[in-house]
Amino acid sequence: MKTNSPSITCQRGAATLLTALILLISITLVTFMTAKTVLVETQMSANNYRTSQATAAANAAMDYALAYFGDAGNTTFACVAASYPPAPVPPATVPAIFVQDHIYPASTASVCIDNTTTRPLTTPWGVTINTPCVTISGALTAGMIIATGYSDDGTAQRTATQCVGSRSLMAGGSPLQSLVSGGSVGLTGSAQLINRYNDTNVWSAGAFSVGSGAMETYIRPVNIEMNQLTTAQLNSTATTPIPNVQKVSSKDLGSGTDVYASDGVLAAAMAATVADKAISGHAGDGPNTFFDMVYPGVRKAELARSAQATGQPPNGQLLATGASSSHLSGKSGIVYVQGNASFGGNNTIGTAAAPVLLFVDGDFDLTGGDIFGAIYVTGKLTGAGSPKISGTIITEAGVNRGAGTVTLVYTPFGGGSGGGSIMPGLTGVIAGSWRDW
């Protein structure tokens, strides 16, 4: 008996099978295509994310470099490439000063502060950044921050650059005298005023009186040229004996040629100051005032803002009235006191490398300590004791010092003393210089 055993010829339903197969294959293809689109989109998102990571790292590195530059930018560092592959193009040559590299945070960004006139830096997309930030290579107070950030896996890289600079408050030149006064000057103690850079020590709008004390002023001997002395010799504060000077004024010699007293120019500036203060909202710092003569184009409030921007927030080195040695000691850069201040004891403000610009918007009582830098007092300078000042004193209302020995050695601000180094509070980005291409 013949049975219906399975065989090819007996198969039925092939059309159904074929149709179902074709449909299934179509579905599979469509699914794959969709999956591919989604995968590509995922990859794009991942790339966007990596770019964001790299950009954020570069921004963080930029912020770090800005803070570094504004705080202690005169440290010497070598500029080396970051450790993360792919390494950024390392600078070909670097000056020995004021260039630093820091990897921040570890392995995700590198920073270089560069002060050469041109810095060829090829970006990943093949563009060469060659914008100079400084016109003279090796300038100590300006440079270009090159911040390169990487994504966590190192595949994405973004570079941003920005010029940074330092504002010079002495745009019109530092005073040439060790003591500039808008009022009268009375030194009754044994003050010693020394100026080895220029031939004047005192410049005042009012009268200059030596009194009966042992006050003496000195300048560099006429037969020694300035370039025969080293900076250390020019700035020397040694007193017994005082090296490389000749005495010009004293109780017995009287006021010598290094004293310009009762000067009409300063008197006119002081008159302008009084007139400016009389205007509502003005602080005696308008055009042609005493302050404007010393710091051309600057306003007192701007100085205060600069001081506020330094040190610990919220007020940095902006101090309230009544600031004393404990508040002032150890500071450098811009220090602004909104009122009277006093300083003395065995304390120091500023250093030779990082001088202070102490602005006292009131009276200043000086009884001791060491000060490196310029002191500007809108009121009167009083005191006693034996302070040593390397720099210059500027006072609007004059000087009235009693007993004691003050040693004032003139050092030009922004020249010999802290010559062109960074002062906290005076640094900043140069607006308009940020670029990332």
Partner 1 sequence: MKKQNGFTLIEIMISLLIGLIIIAATITIYVNTIKSSTDTIRSVRLNHDLDSALSLMENDIKRAGYWGGAIAGANSQLNPFTVVTTAPITNVQIPTPSCILYSYDGGNGITGGVAHDANGIVNLDEYYGFRLTTNGAIEMRLTVADTASVGCNNGEWQALTINDTSGERINITRLQFSFNPIPGVGDLAFPILPATSKCLNTASLVTTAPFNTLCADAAVGYLTTGQRAIETRQVNVVITGQLANDPSVTKTVYNSVKIRNDRIFTQ
> Which one of the spans 74-82, 131-139, 145-153, 206-214 is the region binding partner 1 (CB under 8 A)?
131-139
| Minimum distance, C-beta of residue 369 to partner 1, in the bound complex (Å) | 27
Round to whole Å and give the CA distance between 333 and 357.
6
State the CB neighbour count (10 A cutoff) for residue 81.
Answer: 16
User: 163 vs 269, which CB is nearer to partner 1?
Assistant: 163
User: 85 vs 314, which CB is nearer to partner 1?
Assistant: 314
Q: Which of 165, 175, 183, 333 binds partner 1 (CB under 8 A)?
A: 165
> Which one of the spans 8-16, 145-153, 237-245, 363-371 is the region binding partner 1 (CB under 8 A)?
8-16
Binding mask 25-44 for partner 1 (x = CB under 8 A): -xx--xx-xx--xx--x--x
| Minimum distance, C-beta of residue 422 to partner 1, in the bound complex (Å) | 12
410, 198 Cβ separation under 8 angstroms: yes
User: 247 vs 305, which CB is nearer to partner 1?
Assistant: 305
Q: Which of 57, 146, 147, 163 binds partner 1 (CB under 8 A)?
A: 163
Does position 18 interact with partner 1 (CB under 8 A)? The reply is: no
| Minimum distance, C-beta of residue 4 to partner 1, in the bound complex (Å) | 7
β-strands 370-377, 208-209: how paired?
Answer: unpaired
Q: ∠169-171-172 over CA atoms, to 5°? A: 125
Q: Where are the alpha helices (DSSP H) in 255-374?
A: 264-278, 290-294, 300-308, 325-328
Does position 142 interact with partner 1 (CB under 8 A)? The reply is: yes
Does position 118 interact with partner 1 (CB under 8 A)? The reply is: no
User: 15 vs 232, which CB is nearer to partner 1?
Assistant: 15
Does position 432 interact with partner 1 (CB under 8 A)? The reply is: yes
Round to whole Å and give the CA distance between 344 and 431.
40
421, 372 Cβ separation under 8 angstroms: no
User: 191 vs 423, which CB is nearer to partner 1?
Assistant: 423
Round to whole Å and give the CA distance between 152 and 343.
52
Round to whole Å and give the CA distance between 238 and 369.
15
Q: Which of 133, 145, 191, 269 binds partner 1 (CB under 8 A)?
A: 133
Say how far residue 314 (Cα) sits from the centre of its chain: 18
Helix (H, G, I), strand (E, B) or coil at 221: coil
430, 156 Cβ separation under 8 angstroms: no
User: 232 vs 431, which CB is nearer to partner 1?
Assistant: 431
Closest by CA position to 249, among listed 238, 241, 257, 261: 257
User: 134 vs 234, which CB is nearer to partner 1?
Assistant: 134
Closest by CA position to 396, among listed 170, 221, 226, 179: 179
> Which one of the spans 208-216, 380-388, 398-406, 429-437 is the region binding partner 1 (CB under 8 A)?
429-437
Backbone angles phi, psi at 11, to 5 degrees: -70, 140
Binding mask 298-337 for partner 1 (x = CB under 8 A): -x-xx-xx--x---------x-------------------
Total residues at the site for partner 1 (CB under 8 A)? Answer: 46
| Minimum distance, C-beta of residue 224 to partner 1, in the bound complex (Å) | 34
User: 127 vs 274, which CB is nearer to partner 1?
Assistant: 127
Closest by CA position to 399, among listed 212, 201, 183, 189: 183
157, 121 Cβ separation under 8 angstroms: no
| Site residues for partner 1 per CB under 8 A | 4, 12-13, 16, 19-20, 23-24, 26-27, 30-31, 33-34, 37-38, 41, 44, 48, 131-135, 139, 141-143, 162-163, 165, 299, 301-302, 304-305, 308, 318, 430-437
